[in-house]
Amino acid sequence: METIVRFFSLQDPNVRYVVLGMLLLSVSTAVIGTFSLLRKKALAGDAVSHAVLPGVCLSFLISGQKEIWSLMAGAFVSGLLSLWCVQYISKHSKLKEDASIGIVLSVFFGLGVVLLTFIQHQGNASQSGLDAFLFGKAAVLMPSDVWVMSIVAVVMLFMVYAFYKEFTLFSFDPGFAQSIGLPVQRLEYILTALMVMSIVMGIQTVGVVLMSAMLITPAAIARFWTNQLFRMLILSVVFSMIASVAGAYISFLAPNMPTGPWIVVVLSGMALLSFLVAPQRGIVWKWWQARILKRKTAEENVLKAMYQLGEKENSFQETYTLEDIFSRRAYATVYTSRILQRLHHQGYVIWEQGEAQLTAEGIRKGSLITRRHRLWETYLTQVVNIAPDHVHDDAESMEHLITEELEKKLLEQLKDPSLDPHQSEIPPIN
Amino acid sequence: MITHVENPVVEVHDLTVSYHKKPVLWGVDFTLPQGALVGILGPNGAGKSTLIKTIMGLIPHSSGFSKLFGKELSEVRNRVSYVPQRESVDWDFPASAYDVVLMGRYGKLGLFNRPRKADKEMAMNCLEKVGMADFAHRQIAQLSGGQQQRVFLARALAQDADLYFMDEPFAGVDASTEAILMDILKSMVTRGKTVAVVHHDLQSVKEYFSWVLLLNMRLVASGKTEEVFQEELLQRTFGGKLTLLSKMSELVHKNEFPVRES
Amino acid sequence: MHFSDFIIVFTASCIAITCALLGCFLVLRKMAMMGDAISHSVLPGIAIAYLLSNSRDSWVMLLGATAFGILTTLLIEQVHQRMRVQEDASIGLVFTAFFSIGVIIISAYAENIDLDQECVLYGEMVHLPLQSLYWGKQAIGPMAMYNAVVMLLLVLTAIVLAFRRLQVCTFDPGFAVSLGISVSVWHYLLMSLVSFTTVVSFEAVGAILVVAFLVVPSSAAFLLTQRLSHMLVLAALIALFSAVGGYYLAYWLDASIAGCMTCVAGLFFLVAFLSQRLLNKTIPLTKENTGTKAIGIN
Ligand SMILES: Nc1ncnc2c1ncn2[C@@H]1O[C@H](COP(=O)(O)OP(=O)(O)OP(=O)(O)O)[C@@H](O)[C@H]1O
Ligand SMILES: [Mg+2]
């Protein structure tokens, strides 16, 4: 409890800088990550984050000191150069983009490692910690770092605000954007520069590999929840922020736990959770929908069976035992009596002492299902051209899916048919 | 308007095919006679490629079955050949025209066997038949679209099958090449082979095909060209989508509903 | 040349050639980044196996980590196909998650595991000759070398024996299926080989050099050759020369061996790329066939 208070009240200056820094980083990486995801350039970020190393080393070799601005400038330049190389290689050879990313990523990084070891072996006194640039040091963020981060975040948000319409169009359909006269090339430069900028800043905090996660994962989760760009931006920023604070908190509790990887693990956990529960696409959601549908299908089938029994006897007032119902449909006894109980509660059936009778509402529903079944059979034979002896199975499942709107259209197109392909009467709407 | 035949080479029975649970072909049911040159016609997205791929076992089907020569596909693979759409492969692949044609022999080779002299000769012969002998050792990316299509046909010829499914072999091919390819197909048919071709040009249907399948999400018609290739049926095939059927597909897709109860 | 130098160069060459051969298929299948993903996501497998078996050189570790590589492949495919997350994003999503878990395990048991991020990324080539394999009580040379040789032989055998299957599955999977070839079995076989290779190589050369050897020589060879068999041979040669050349460059510069090998491979690629550019300028290709290019479409 005490630790929670101590953490969230941000009394500890160290905590304050870490949390603030991570939040700022989340904003900029999540925003730019969303755009690069939509532009199918998610992995280009991976290339950039590996490719900054030679820039950092060269800038150190030239300036001879570990001054943050010059290192960042070096990183920025080699990051941009790497993206240009990726573009150039895939444009001017038969190599596809995945290969050119792989090439640029590994060769730049290899060059960086050579320079790094070269510097180390030269024994320059101030070199130590140069590779912190690569592996991140989230736990020891300085006020100056936080300043840099806020500047980057502000620039990022401002640019996105200023060019929101253009970026949106450009991300979804660059061809169209160009055709209506947007300066596509310039937008590309701006987005690229913003991406490299946020990566350069992020690497120092979370490290090379995990930087890719900060770019890709929040956007991918957000994409899972919404199709709309603005919501996607907001969501990815929120997810990213939550994960950042959680990561910082975990490494606050257990100081030997690295912040960056925990952020990523939390993010990945969120992704997993989304895959499970997100509406429409989540596994649990789908499972639940299937269950509801299955139940509905079973209920409707029983109503239909009773209705069709009534049709045969020309009276819907009869009572039926389970055996009667089974004569139309094979089900387990327990299962069917449970369904009848549910139908009883819903007011479609009176189910007492092993005998079931349709209510008025039940008759209406039974006729509705039967009508949809026969309509669909008619449609399949007349329009879809399927032989009458093949349509039953299909209609057996479609009758539960046909909506009122679709039913109306069917009636319209088939001109209110009275008989189905098997010469059974199609019950009229009443 | 579906004509069934005795002892069919291809029998497709009540076939329903879905992508991601969304049905794109409904209850397709037809038979093809031996020695027919079959045109498969239908608008874009009608499911022509899907039908062929399903018969060839590339995509699973939700219901129904298909039989070739009265047997399961796995029993008669060596007698069937499939020519994919040209765009389905990456032509930058490092291989020569000859290499690609030689692939046609792989089905008859065991896992670790190398192609024998006879296989190599066969590949060369087939290249010659399609008029590509001079390009045998050219890299496939350096062939024109029509030449690539000829290579694919040569590969199919090298398979020496009895039944051929070809997905748009005339796409992007000029008139003279089309005539050459067509002659080859016709001579195959006269030797008793059965060839089914996805085709887009309605002008040439009567001249090319002895049998026609009209397809648009469902089978509109299947039968002899002179019986089936007529205004009213074509109107039903090409005259717009079946909105109701597409809506239903959407509903099935949205509900992740199994097309058949099981 | 010292014996230990020889061991380093020899081991690195075996690794380089193996990676280059497999890399050819990855590049042709447009799965170069799968190599990157796998090479990162074996980390937790290595860490866990390390904890369990308490040593670096054991078959437990090799198999455990290989399993993680295959798991990565499976997961990426599942996330892409079932969850409909776009492919590049699912790669990024999965491998970063695995890598983070690996780093966390390592930090949690820091005193038990003699591994760190740097080692994972750069490798520790100089330490190669340190761990010996024993035949009875007799040391018969470094374990890593034997692993690399076994791996090279395994991959070579697989490629030579199944050359035609791999070729047709890569070029035209639809056609391969129609021949009755089980494309997915070959796919997973290939990915298992990549995982296994990554694990064996990673400790010697680091994740990044694995990626480099998987992608760079094979891409260079792809640009210069017109037949698959030539591409494989050329890629292997480039890999070999990069390994040897890189070693001497490192010696001369007094810098990271893995890094120098990557740089030499990069130089080879540059040469291949430029010569291909020059050739293209003189002999214009039919541009019509390049429509499938990944870039510029979306
Ligand atoms: N891999 C896939 N995933 C999802 N849907 C698909 C896939 N392939 C095809 N479809 C859909 O299935 C339907 C039929 O496609 P198919 O490729 O069979 O059409 P086609 O008749 O061959 O058209 P075309 O004349 O353009 O080649 C289309 O609506 C298409 O959108
Ligand atoms: Mg098609």
pLDDT band of residue C289 (cuts 50, 70, 90) is very low
In this prediction, residue C135 carries a pLDDT of 58
Please state, as a whole number, how many other Cβ atoms lie within 10 Å of the Cβ of residue A257: 17
Residue position matching structure tokens 């291949």: C272
Residues of C in contact with B94 (CB under 8 A): 28, 222, 225-228, 230-231
B50: CA distance to ligand 2 center in Å? Answer: 7
What are the structure tokens assigned to C279, written together? 């050739």
Q: For the ranges B96-100, B196-200, C122-126, C183-187, which has the lowest average pLDDT?
A: C122-126
* Partner-chain contact B94 C288, CB within 8 Å: no
Q: Residue A319: what are its φ and ψ, rounded to 5°?
A: -105, 150
| Per-residue pLDDT reduced to its tens digit, A346-371 | 888 888 888 888 888 888 888 899 99
Q: What is the pLDDT of residues B40-76, one digit of tens each?
A: 999 998 999 999 999 999 998 888 899 999 999 999 9
Range with the largest mean pLDDT of A143-152, A328-337, A383-392, C220-229: C220-229
| CB nearest A257 (choices: C92, C104, C262) | C104
pLDDT of residue A207: 79
Longest dimension (CA), chain B: 56
Q: CA A212, CA A265: separation in Å to the nearest integer?
A: 13
Q: For chain C, give the percent of residues with pLDDT over 90.
A: 49
Name the domain count of chain C. Answer: 1
Q: How far apart are CA C259 and CA C247, in angstroms?
A: 9
Alpha-carbon gap, residue B140 to B136, rounded angstroms:
9
B216 C-beta closer than 6 A to ligand 1: no
C217-232 residues labelled b (16+ CB within 10 A) or e (exposed):
bbbbbbbbbbbbeebb
pLDDT tens per residue, range B190-227: 999 999 999 998 989 999 999 999 998 889 899 999 99
> Which chain B residue has the Cα nearest residue C165?
B111
> Among residues A194, A192, A209, A186, which one has the least CA distance to residue A153?
A194
Q: What part of A 18-57 touches C (C-beta under 8 Å)?
A: 37, 39-43, 45-46, 50
pLDDT digits (tens, 9 = 90+) for A298-336: 888 888 888 888 888 887 788 888 777 777 766 666 778
Nearest to C42 by CA among C90, C94, C89, C85: C94
Q: Which residues contact A410 (CB under 8 A, 6 or more apart)?
A: A375, A376, A379, A402, B244
- Cβ atoms of residues B66 and B13 within 8 Å: yes
- Give the model's pLDDT for residue C286: 44
Q: How far is CA C90 from CA A38, C75, C80, C98, C161, in A?
A: 13, 9, 6, 12, 33
Cα-to-centroid distance, C175 and ligand 2 (Å): 15
Q: What is the pLDDT of residue C298?
A: 30
Q: CB of B129 closer than 6 A to ligand 1? A: no
DSSP per-residue letters across A33-55:
HHHHHHTT-TTHHHHHHHHHHHH
Cα–ligand 1 centroid distance for B217 (angstroms): 10
Token pair belonging to B11? 């029998």
Most confident of A3-7, A8-12, A184-188, C150-154: C150-154
Instruction: Tell me if B259 and A391 make a contact (CB, 8 A cut-off).
Output: no
As a whole number of angstroms, the distance between CA B165 and CA B12 comes to: 14
Distance B214 CA to ligand 2 centre (A): 14
Contact A293 B255 (CB under 8 A): yes
Whether C282 and chain B come into contact, CB under 8 Å, resolves to no
Distance of alpha carbon B164 from alpha carbon B144, whole angstroms: 23
8 Å CB contact between A42 and C88: yes
Residue B157: CA count within 13 A, CB half-sphere:
27
Residue A430's pLDDT band (cuts 50, 70, 90): low
Q: Which residues pair with C236 in a beta bridge?
A: none
pLDDT digits (tens, 9 = 90+) for A146-185: 888 888 889 989 999 998 888 888 888 888 888 888 888 8
Give the model's confidence band at C297: pLDDT under 50 very low, under 70 low, under 90 confident, else very high.
very low
Domains, chain A, ordered by start: 20-215 (1.10.3470.10), 285-358 (1.10.10), 363-414 (1.10.60.10)
Of the two residues C125 and A397, the one the predictor is more confident about is: A397
For residues C130 and C128, what is the distance between their CA atoms, to the nearest angstrom? 5
Measured CA to CA in angstroms, residue B147 lies from B69, B77, B101 at distances of: 32, 27, 13
- Domains of chain B, residue spans: 1-69+162-181+188-262, 91-160
The residue whose CB lies within 8 Å of the most ligand 1 atoms, and thus the one to mutate among B26, B44, B50, is B50
pLDDT of amino acid A158: 92
Whole-angstrom distance, CA of residue B242 vs CA of residue A386 = 14
Query: Which atom of ligand 1 is closest in space to residue B46's alpha carbon?
Result: 21
Residues of C in contact with B103 (CB under 8 A): 164, 167-168, 171-172, 175
Superfamily of domain B1-69+162-181+188-262: P-loop containing nucleotide triphosphate hydrolases (3.40.50.300)
Q: Measured between CB atoms, does C168 come within 8 Å of chain A?
A: no
Is the pLDDT assigned to residue B258 strictly greater than 60?
no
A127/B79: higher pLDDT: B79
Which has more confidence, A427 or C285?
A: A427
pLDDT in tens, C151-188: 999 999 999 999 999 999 999 999 999 998 999 999 99
Alpha-carbon span B80 to B118, nearest angstrom:
20
What is the predicted ipTM?
0.91
Determine whether the shortest distance from the Cβ of B24 to ligand 1 is under 6 A: yes
Tell me which of A120-124, A256-260, A298-302 is least confident: A120-124
| Cα Rg of chain B (Å, integer) | 19
Q: For C178-221, how does the pLDDT look when each residue is reduced to its tens digit (9 = 90+)? A: 998 999 999 999 999 999 998 888 777 777 788 999 999 999 99
Q: What is the pLDDT of residue C231?
A: 96
Distance CA C261, CA C240 (A): 10
Sheet (strand B10-19) strand order: B63-68, B10-19, B22-32, B218-224, B211-216, B37-41, B194-198, B163-166, B80-83
Identify the residue with better confidence: C218 or B5: C218
From B36, B16, B6, select the one nearest B213 (Cα to Cα): B36
Q: Ligand 1 pocket test: which of B15, B16, B17, B19 has the largest number of ligand atoms within 8 Å of its C-beta?
A: B19
**E strand or H helix that includes residue B219:** strand B218-224
- What range defines the domain where residue C154 resides? 3-294
Nearest chain C CA: its distance from B58 CA (Å): 6
Write the Ramachandran bin of B13: left for phi over 0, alpha for psi from -120 to 50, otherwise beta.
Answer: beta
CA of B195 to the centre of ligand 1 (A): 22
Q: Which of C124, C153, C142 is nearest to C14 (CA)?
A: C153
Residue nearest to atom 3 of ligand 1 (CA): B19
Contact C171 B95 (CB under 8 A): yes
Q: Which CATH number fits the domain that encloses residue C204?
A: 1.10.3470.10
Q: What is the pLDDT of residue A243?
A: 94
DSSP C124-169: -GGGGGGSEEEETTEEEEEHHHHHHHHHHHHHHHHHHHTHHHHHHH
Can you give the pLDDT at residue C270? 97
More confident residue, B126 or B21: B126
Given a contact as 3+ CB pairs under 8 Å, which chains touch B?
A, C
The 3-state DSSP class for residue A69 equals helix
Give contacts of B218 with chain A, Cβ < 8 Å: 384-386
pLDDT reported for residue B2: 83
